[in-house]
């Protein structure tokens, strides 16, 4: 399960249609890491996970950071 602990709007991208956001996430395990940068979007609002976002793996006692290419790196 993924829970959003913190989210902060950084900028508008895609001609102002998408909110680029810094996220801090809590995960049950590393298998819950989002692979889709637009995971938190809805039918009416688009949100993209920004480079530098953090994910805390509670079960595995690890932290991951989002790279600019959209992949997660264990810290």
Query: What residue ranges do the domains of the chain occupy?
Result: 2-74
Overall average pLDDT of the 16-42 stretch? 96
Question: What single string gives the DSSP state of each residue in 5-73?
Answer: EEEEEEEEETTTTEEEEEEEEEESSGGGS---TTTT--SS-EEEEPTT-EEEETTTTEEEEE-TTS-EE
Query: Rg of the chain's alpha carbons, rounded to an integer?
Result: 12
Name the pLDDT band for 11 (thresholds 50, 70, 90): very high
Residue 57's pLDDT is 97
For 38-71, write each residue's pLDDT tens digit.
Answer: 999 999 999 999 999 999 999 999 999 999 999 9
Residue 74's pLDDT is 97
């Amino acid at each position: 399960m993924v829970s959003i602990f913190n989210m902060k709007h950084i900028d508008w991208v895609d001609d102002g249609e998408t909110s680029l956001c810094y996220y801090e996430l809590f995960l049950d395990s590393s298998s819950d890491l989002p692979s889709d940068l637009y995971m938190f979007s809805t039918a009416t609002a688009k949100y993209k996970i920004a480079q530098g976002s953090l994910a805390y793996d509670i079960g595995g006692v690890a932290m991951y950071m989002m790279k600019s290419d959209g992949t997660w790196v264990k810290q």
